[in-house]
A and B are shown apart, each in its own frame.
Chain A
Amino acid sequence: MAIRRGRGVAAINYPTGMNLGGDPTQALVHSTPTGNFMVTLSSVDLGQGMKQIMAQICAETIGVPTDRVVVDTADTDTGPHCMGTFASRGTHRAGNAVIQAAREARQVMLEVAAEELEVNASDLETDGQGNILVKGAPQKSISIFDVALSAHFKRGRSISGRGMFLIPRSYPEKETGAMKPSTCYAHACTVAEVEVDDETGEVTVLTVKNVFEIGRALNPKMVEQQLVGGSWMGISHALYETTEPYYPNRDHGGTDFNQYLMPGPGDLAQTEIIVLERPSADGPYGAKGPGEMCANPQIPAVANAVFDAVGVRIDTLPITPERILRALKAQASN
């Protein structure tokens, strides 16, 4: 038997947001009487951590610590419209809506603070710790707690804001296909190293080195979660997954996690993740959507590595031991 090694590379880009636009998302932000901030949305957290990211975006924009922001989402009685959490649009679309709403709320907050401090609102800044200071004279300050109390009970102002983000819909030109699919793209390059057992066709992914360019890592630990999980899923797509193992024959579709194959905890490749940030022009703090594209480059990288190892091309996904073995037999008989 021979275990043969190979390595492959792939480079990709990925559009952020619903293709061709036309997918709005709204957000509302308001302060409580004690200077905490509520973000109201109808976007959905699928586990990617949308709520946490929206809290950080709102906090950054208003100028308070993240733990003073509460996100209330996915209730159609309270949350304004969002197209949905898909197409890598959650962070980008909802994030922009939150920024707009938070800016408007911040403006009211600064106006109330300006009245309290008897200065111009434009002379004020936040310290990110929950205080508003006069630029250049930081000893002159007021806490956001006090500003909110004053707004509510003394000055009758609503510290609140509305946000809406919409990329206008693009309609492809019939004959040429001229269109604007997306306004920003994330990027990735992956190098995978595999071992292939040339008697059984079994593949072991030894390492994957992924470089992702995602605009801005709004929360690096959460970005890491997505990218590590996505990289695993990419390898899974490359080598394991399908609901129709004998496609286009419809038989033998798996109905459980015993039959629907995904790499187990003993099948993990040594995974390296490197992130580059080229802020996007229209992303919230430059962010792009990393959630989908992070599972794409591993697939061709693994496919190319398999070829590098054993010299057969498997152009059909998933690249199963069976497909490799058939190709090796065909190669041997040629």
Chain B
Amino acid sequence: MALALQTFSTVKDANAALKAAGTRYLGGGTLAVRAANEGDVSVSSFIRSTEPSLSAITVSGGKVRIGASVTMAAIARHPDLSSLSHAAHAVGGPAIRNMATVGGNLFAPAPYGDFTVALLALDATLSTDGGDLPIETFLVKRESIHAIVTAVGFSLPAEGSFRFLKVSRIKPKGISVLSIAAVLEQAPDGTVSSARIALGCMADRPMRATATEKALLGRILTSHGIAPALAVANDGTAPITDPLASAWYRNEVLPVHLGRLLLA
């Protein structure tokens, strides 16, 4: 079967087409078209939808909704999303950012998926035609999801509360050794009142650092204050081993980088 592209003006019709065998949804194509180029013949039909809402960003009342087709470049330059621009900018080089979509990033296997790490820390909700689902639920079962994700939604983090760090070997653009996203809120006395921390490359998909989150509560962000949190940074991690680094290395340096991010 030769390869073909089918374009639908609505998500509904595209979802219907995706029921056929050999189909795959096409976001920006930076992973999907590559796979076809490299001889993955399991896909014979790319399906895409041009429904305008897929490409829209809306920010109102502290709520953000990003259509699944929105690119990393569009997020990085959006004036109301400046706190996230760093995370969007962390994906690929300029051309990749002009193509890579939020929807595709959600499905990208480690070491990819840097923006999804940010979305996990932001506790995003994913929309599909069949209803919404929390990002954590989505990540657990993403292989079995064939429906189109239409958008991601989350609350805009409070000023200064979102932190993001990507560690890579190549500058300024390299894929991740690991990435860390954190939404940290502090009480007036400087103690951490809430923490949501997500890690990339520390498992085959983005994961929460729940032990670290707990250990941070009530602590101040000094090297002494965060020490207990760093001590449990590796709880539950099962890092990938790839050409960049072994699981051992990722585990070794996670507390180092996490510490630097927390103290930054």
* B-binding residues in A (CB < 8 A): 1, 199-201, 240, 245-246, 252-254, 258-267, 320-322, 325, 329
Contact = CB atoms under 8 A, between A and B. Distances in A.
A267 B243 CA distance: 19
Contacts of B170: 240, 261-264, 266-267
A329 B253 CA distance: 12
Nearest to B93: A264
Contact of A322 (B172, B173, B248): B248
Nearest to B255: A199
Contact of B249 (A254, A263, A266, A325): A325
A261 B253 contact: no
Interface in B116-167: 167
A163 to B, nearest CB: 45
14 contacts: A200-B253, A245-B244, A259-B244, A260-B243, A261-B174, A261-B244, A262-B170, A264-B172, A266-B172, A320-B245, A321-B245, A322-B248, A325-B253, A329-B252
Nearest to B176: A258
Contacts of A240: 169-170
Interface in B220-256: 241-246, 248-249, 252-253, 256
Given A200-B256, A259-B175, A252 B241 contact: yes
Given A200-B253, A200-B257, A322 B174 contact: no
Contact of A259 (B242, B256, B257): B242
Q: Main SS of the interface on chain B?
A: loop
B260 interface: yes
A322 B245 CA distance: 7
B242 A261 contact: no
Contacts of B252: 325, 329
Contacts of A263: 170
Nearest to B253: A200
Contacts of A265: 172
Nearest to A323: B249
B171 A267 contact: yes
A71 B29 CA distance: 43
* Residue with the highest number of chain A CB atoms closer than 10 Å, among B169, B175, B245, B246: B169
Given A200-B257, A252-B241, A258 B174 contact: yes
A325 B248 CA distance: 11
Q: Which 5 A-B pairs have the closest CB atoms?
A: A266-B171, A254-B243, A266-B172, A259-B243, A322-B249
Contact of B246 (A258, A264, A267, A322): A322
Q: Main SS of the interface on chain A?
A: loop
Contacts of A267: 170-171
A252 B253 contact: no
Contacts of A266: 170-173
Contacts of A254: 243
B33 to A, nearest CB: 14
B171 A264 contact: yes
A264 B173 CA distance: 7
Contacts of A329: 252
A325 B244 CA distance: 14
Contacts of A321: 169, 245, 249, 253
A240 B245 CA distance: 11
Contacts of B256: 1, 199-200
Contacts of A262: 170
B28 to A, nearest CB: 16
A8 to B, nearest CB: 21
Contacts of A253: 243
Nearest to A244: B243
Contacts of A261: 169-170, 174, 243-244
A258 B169 contact: no
B221 to A, nearest CB: 16
Given A252-B241, A322-B246, 5 more contacts: A1-B256, A200-B167, A240-B169, A263-B170, A264-B174
A260 B241 CA distance: 14
Contacts of B245: 320-322
A240 B244 CA distance: 9
A263 B173 CA distance: 10
Given A1-B260, A262-B170, A245 B253 contact: no
Contact of A252 (B169, B172, B242, B249): B242
Contacts of B171: 264, 266-267
A322 B248 CA distance: 9
B29 to A, nearest CB: 16
A233 to B, nearest CB: 15
Nearest to A262: B170
Contacts of A264: 170-174
